[in-house]
Chains A and B, each alone.
Chain A
């Protein structure tokens, strides 16, 4: 698939996404208006939170009274009951409960008797995570196969779509950020390429999957971005050299009496960097989803289909911006990760003093 058709494909899916979203919510709207229950009023914030949050089932659409959902496995571990695995469809009853467990209004599982348990369920986000993991492994191993097949020749097919991105991450992200050579004379960045490439494509793929119709908001989930930021922190700390720590505990050019202030500040700085990574990705993606959903929600708040004439083009525009944000945030996360790692591994010889 070349770039052009790929873009066309993405645009197409977004148009499709809107038409489906619009039509399904329109159905539910109809249902509210014609239905007997007047208390089922449309709440924009609820709809938005439902869309950006996690869920124990994958809800695709609601047509009339029929919910098209994929029930997902619930996995619960507790000290007394051990491992319990059951389908989330077991919660489909009046009280939304199954045994001791009950779904609360946030779609969280709570214990009715107040027992302590760990919820390791395959939620919508986890399912989407598995899907993206499979996609990543399948796509990139096929590309690797193409590299082995046309060794030394020009790239072809999907390989030539991804090659500029891979080369870009290597030449414009990793190489400038992680300077210097290790003691074997190999460039230092080479060791971190697998992580940087994986994190870039992981975030990008999941950002795009999140924009798909019915997609999960995986990269807009703080748990996911937190884990990614934590891995960056771990890599930074485990590959740090003495100059990195020297920079924290004896910042060059700082008078001795300032050190009691500087050391805590620098130590906090070690953790604020990955924290900012976590929050930036989470906030950007979630905010993007919320903006689009709010725009579409306006139609139902106004209860007037004519409003959509103005809203839909604007929402479409926002969605296109989200497409750009998808790759931009992946790039920013990768670039900043590379820079944090670079600051931890930089040697004394290639140390520069600007900005400190």
Chain B
């Protein structure tokens, strides 16, 4: 059985060569290969983790933006509503003021008209009075032109007075 009888020389050379190859490869090949494989895997893992982190950060930022936007929208709506209310109030007030003013103007105009009328009436009365007096004077003058008439009047007057 030549095949299953190990030869001494081959055992020796195999042991020496294999251990030498093992030593050389361990020192000059496997060590740098394994370390750089590990390094690369770590860097890939780190990059993936960073990407994941960036994604969540992005989502957070987006949500924050959304929230800000929503807040701004609400605020804007509130402001608009307030402005509308204010403008309505202003218009209302202006209307009120205008009606009050107009009422006042109308009132004062009425008063003035009244006063004018009063004045005109008074004037007319005075003129009528004057005219009546003048007429009466003239009439009296005319009636009491004669002596007799004057006497009659005085008599009359005296008579009236004595009767009282």
Contacts and interface: CB of A to CB of B under 8 A. Distances in A.
- Most chain B Cβ neighbours within 10 Å, of A53, A122, A166, A194: A194
Interface string B7-38: 11111111101111110111011111110110
B161 interface: no
A136 B40 CA distance: 24
A239 interface: no
B162 interface: no
Contact of A119 (B4, B7, B17, B25): B7
A163 B38 CA distance: 12
B17 A133 contact: yes
Interface string B44-61: 000000000000000000
B2 interface: yes
Given A49-B2, A193-B30, A198-B30, A123 B10 contact: yes
Contacts of A190: 34
B9 A198 contact: no
A119 B24 CA distance: 27
A228 interface: yes
Given A53-B3, A123-B9, A198 B22 contact: yes
Contacts of A314: none
Nearest to A228: B18
Contacts of B37: 147, 163, 166-167, 170
Given A119-B7, A144-B32, A144-B33, A133 B20 contact: yes
Contact of A227 (B9, B18, B29): B18
Contacts of A224: 10, 14
A120 interface: yes
Given A120-B9, A136-B25, A202-B21, A106 B36 contact: no
A143 B29 contact: yes
A318 interface: no
Interface in A136-176: 136-137, 140-141, 143-144, 147-148, 151-153, 163, 166-167, 170
Please classify the interface of chain B as helix (H, G, I), strand (E, B), loop, or mixed, using the class held by over half of its residues. helix
- Most chain A Cβ neighbours within 10 Å, of B3, B11, B30, B36: B3
Nearest to B35: A147
B22 A170 contact: no
Contact of A143 (B5, B11, B12, B33): B33
Contacts of A202: 18, 21
Contacts of A75: 9
A250 to B, nearest CB: 34
Q: How many interface residues does chain A have, given as a range? A: 35 or more
Contact of B8 (A119, A143, A170, A222): A119
A286 interface: yes
A52 interface: yes
A106 B25 contact: no
A237 to B, nearest CB: 17
- Most chain B Cβ neighbours within 10 Å, of A106, A195, A198: A198
Given A130-B17, A198-B22, A224-B14, A193 B34 contact: yes
A119 B12 CA distance: 10
Contacts of B30: 140, 144, 193-194, 197-198
Nearest to A136: B21
Interface of A: 49, 52-54, 75, 106, 108, 118-123, 125-126, 129-130, 133, 136-137, 140-141, 143-144, 147-148, 151-153, 163, 166-167, 170, 190, 193-195, 197-198, 202, 221-224, 226-228, 231, 282, 286
Interface of B: 2-15, 17-22, 24-26, 28-34, 36-37, 39-40, 43
- CB-based closest 8 A-B pairs: A223-B6, A194-B26, A140-B29, A223-B10, A147-B36, A144-B29, A227-B14, A144-B32
15 contacts: A121-B9, A123-B7, A129-B14, A133-B21, A137-B24, A140-B33, A144-B33, A147-B33, A166-B34, A167-B37, A194-B26, A198-B30, A223-B11, A223-B14, A228-B14
Given A144-B29, A197-B30, A221-B10, 13 more contacts: A120-B12, A121-B9, A123-B7, A126-B10, A140-B25, A144-B30, A144-B32, A194-B26, A194-B30, A198-B18, A222-B6, A226-B11, A231-B19
